Each structure stands twice: as C-alpha cells, then as structure tokens.
C-alpha cells in the first residue's frame, strides 16, 4: 500500500558506498529512537522516527537505482545481489522501528508504570529545536562542550529534511535545527531550556501497578540492546566479509526469539492481574517488532553466510573505515583471562571498546556500560582500529 505522504525520489549520482554507510547509521538510530519514544512516552521523538523512516525510504531507492546502473554483466550482478539484500533488510528494520513508534503515535497501549520503572536504567532522550536566541546557536559542539559539562550528547540533528547523524565536534548548531539530546535527566533539564528556550517538564513516573514489573523492564531493555547489536554486527559482517560476525548475528537472533517467547508468556500472565488488560497490548506489539528487527539483521548477513563474493563497492567502504568490529574468544590463561572491563574499555593498553560479551553459561552481556571480568571461553564483540584488534586478539590467544 502506498503511503499518503510518499515523497518523490529521483536518481542522483551518489556513491553506493556512502549510501550503505548512511543506511547503516540510519537503521541504528531508528531502532534507538523508536524504543526511546516508547520508553519515555514521547510523541515528539516518535515523530522523528517517522521523519527518519522517510529518509531511509529515499536512501533505499537511491541505492537501488545506483546498483541497477552498476550491474553491467552477470558476474557483477552476482556480487551485487547480496548488497540488494542488505537494502531490502534495511527496509524491514525501518518498518519495524516505525511499528514500535506507533505504540506512541496511535496510543496502542503500554503500562505507564513500566515507563516509571525505566527511569533509573535508561537515559532521557528528548527532541529540542534550537531557538534563535539560544546561546548554542551558531556554535560548534566542541565549543559548547555539552557532554563534559552536563553528560548530555547530541546524537543527531535534523536540518529541514537533511539529517546529520553522529554529529562530531565540528558540527555547528543553527537556529531552527531539530536536535536529539540524550543524557541523565538532570543534565537534560539544564540543557533543554538553554537550547530551546522552553522549560523542561517531564511527566512524573507512575507507581508500579503490576507484579513482576522489573523483570518485564529488564526484558525490554535487553531486547532493545540485542536488536541494536544484531544490526551493528550484521552490517559489520557485510562490510568486512566476516563469517564469524555473521555467526554471532545468528546467535543473537536465536536469543531474541527465546526472549520474545518468555516476554509474551509474562505479558499473558500479567493480563490476569491488570485492571485494564488492553493496556498491555503495546507489549506484544513491541515484542513482535523487536523479533522482526533481529530477523532483518540475519537477512543482512545472507550473502556472507552463503559465501558470495563481496562487490568492490563494499571493499571500498572497508578500506576507508577507521574502526572495525571484531570477534575474539578469550583463551584460558591468556592475558585477557581475568581482565576487568569498565565502561566498555578493558584494563589493558589496547584502545578497544567491548560492545558485548557472550558467556557460554550465562548468555549475552550487552550495553555501553559493561562492567565485568573476562573469563576463558568468553566471546568478545569489540570495536577498535585494525591495529588494536590484532593486538587484542594476541592478548586473548
């Protein structure tokens, strides 16, 4: 079915490599924003999910046009087929994120108490428009230095219909920019009025009304983290033609399926205790959409799992990448065995960030603030430079 507000997309001579990178960043941001819209009951953030979904639609169409022009013979068609698969899977991610946002925009229903219980474990995310008289207007993020002063990060900027994903220190804010701010509530309460000229007025958290709410909250946060990691690893497996990363995406997909089943069972039990069982409808909606994201991540890896050759356009993207994602198994008695990890960085001289740990008997430890001690047999998913990845592997051997 065609969307009522469908926007015209015309061919532009754009690098497929650049389109793939932007689609990856857009997919990851879509997942993040859609969950944040639900967990914080934010219609404004849900609106940005819709806007970003339109951007993803345009990126997909441009990528398909460029790939059609690039396929000049059967051999090239064979190597481009997996790239088309990546584009189709990105569409599934965007649609699933949009479905999650609909829990807010269409008021599908979610227990208010669940959002209240999340305040301690999930940072606040708000949308703010830079006012003309804001002290931040016309200044770079480096000059404003929000993160070190308040702990608040600008994770994206929308300027009219253009998006600035992963804005860096040199990104300059302008009056009228729509910014997405993330950080502790106290920091957001300080930054938001200065940026937008409007008061920051969050809704007070509701009191828990359903037993075992904490387990449900933990499940939702874990499902979100696993979905984000699966998409990140899926793109990494394609960009670096890495079968080991593709295998971990498969492991994550299995974990999300199992988690969804447990979550649905909890929801059905909770319905018997809820004053309004319909208010739990959004939970089932959320679980289904999350499972679709993990399925899409697995679809992205299809070309790698089938051992199809990577098209040169993907190799070009890899060659220009400053960071890579790696999979490392900690050997018994190795230098990493017994090493502490705090805030995602292992206690070594290697500049590598740990994204996740898969522990054979305990499952996945995921999140930006991993605080654990590595053990022999742990499977580490990490991000760093090529050199640091090689040194990290040496320590694990």
Could you state, in order of their start, the residue ranges of all structural domains in the chain?
A: 16-116+213-314, 122-196, 323-396
Contacts of 126 (CB under 8 A, 6+ apart): 40, 42, 44, 45, 180, 181, 188, 192, 200
Architecture of domain 323-396: 2-Layer Sandwich (3.30)
Query: How do strand 124-129 and strand 178-183 relate by DSSP bridges?
Result: antiparallel
Q: From first to last of its 397 residues, what are the pLDDT tens digits of the chain? A: 334 445 555 656 567 777 877 888 888 889 888 888 887 778 888 899 988 988 898 888 888 888 777 767 777 777 777 788 888 888 899 999 999 999 888 877 676 656 555 544 567 888 999 999 999 999 999 999 888 888 898 989 999 888 898 888 899 999 999 999 988 888 899 999 999 999 988 766 555 555 555 666 677 778 888 888 898 888 888 877 888 899 999 999 998 988 888 887 777 777 777 777 776 777 788 888 988 999 999 998 988 888 877 666 666 665 556 677 888 899 998 888 888 887 677 877 777 888 888 887 778 888 655 778 888 999 888 888 778 888 888 888 8
Fold for 122-196, please state it. Answer: Alpha-Beta Plaits (3.30.70)
C-alpha of 282 from chain center: 20
Task: Confirm if 256 and 291 have CB atoms less than 8 A apart.
Answer: yes
Burial label, 210 (beta-carbon count in 10 A; 0-12, 13-18, 19+)? buried
Domain 122-196 shares a fold with domain 323-396: yes
Q: Is 52 exposed, middle or buried (0-12, 13-18, 19+ CB in 10 A)?
A: buried
Global pTM value: 0.75
How far is the C-alpha of 282 from the C-alpha of 280, rounded, in Å?
5
Distance CA 216, CA 365 (A): 17
Q: Which CATH number fits domain 16-116+213-314: 1.20.970.10, 1.20.58.220, 3.40.50.150, 3.40.50.1220?
A: 1.20.58.220
User: Distance between terminal CA atoms of the chain?
Assistant: 53
**Residue 347: how many other CB atoms lie within 10 Å:** 13
Structure tokens at 198: 């409007």
């Amino acid at each position: 079915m065609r969307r009522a507000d469908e926007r015209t997309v015309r061919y532009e001579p754009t690098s497929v490599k650049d389109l793939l990178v932007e689609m990856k960043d857009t997919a990851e941001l879509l997942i993040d924003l859609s969950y944040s819209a639900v967990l914080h009951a934010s219609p404004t953030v849900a609106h940005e999910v819709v806007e970003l979904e339109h951007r993803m639609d345009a990126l997909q169409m441009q990528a398909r046009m460029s790939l059609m022009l690039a396929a000049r013979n059967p051999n090239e068609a064979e190597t481009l087929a997996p790239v088309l698969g990546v584009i189709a899977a990105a569409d599934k991610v965007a649609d699933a994120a949009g479905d999650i946002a609909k829990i807010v925009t269409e008021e599908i229903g979610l227990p208010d108490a669940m959002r209240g219980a999340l305040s301690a474990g999930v940072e606040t995310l708000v949308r703010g428009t830079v006012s003309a008289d804001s002290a931040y207007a016309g200044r770079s993020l480096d000059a404003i230095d929000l993160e070190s002063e308040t702990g608040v990060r600008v994770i994206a900027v929308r300027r009219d219909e253009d998006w600035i994903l992963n804005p860096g220190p040199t990104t300059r804010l302008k009056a009228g920019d729509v910014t997405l701010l993330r950080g502790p509530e106290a920091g957001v309460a300080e930054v938001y009025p200065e940026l937008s000229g409007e008061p920051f007025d969050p809704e007070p958290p509701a009191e828990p009304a359903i037993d075992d709410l904490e387990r449900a909250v933990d499940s939702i946060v874990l499902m979100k983290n696993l979905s984000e990691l699966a998409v990140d690893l899926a793109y990494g497996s394609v960009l670096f033609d890495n079968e080991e990363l593709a295998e971990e995406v498969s492991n994550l997909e299995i974990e999300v399926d199992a988690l969804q089943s447990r979550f649905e069972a909890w929801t059905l039990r909770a319905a018997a205790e809820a004053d309004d069982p319909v208010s739990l409808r959004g939970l089932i909606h959320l679980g289904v959409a999350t499972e679709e994201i993990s399925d899409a991540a697995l679809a992205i890896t299809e070309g790698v799992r089938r051992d199809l050759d990577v098209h040169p356009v993907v190799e070009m993207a890899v060659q220009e990448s400053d960071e890579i994602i790696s999979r490392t198994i900690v050997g018994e008695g190795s230098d990493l065995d017994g090493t502490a990890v705090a805030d995602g960085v292992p206690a070594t001289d290697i500049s590598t960030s740990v994204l996740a740990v898969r522990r054979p008997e305990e499952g996945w430890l995921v999140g930006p603030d991993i605080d654990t001690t590595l053990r022999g047999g742990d499977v580490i998913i990490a991000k760093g430079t090529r050199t640091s990845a090689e040194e990290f592997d040496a320590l694990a051997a």
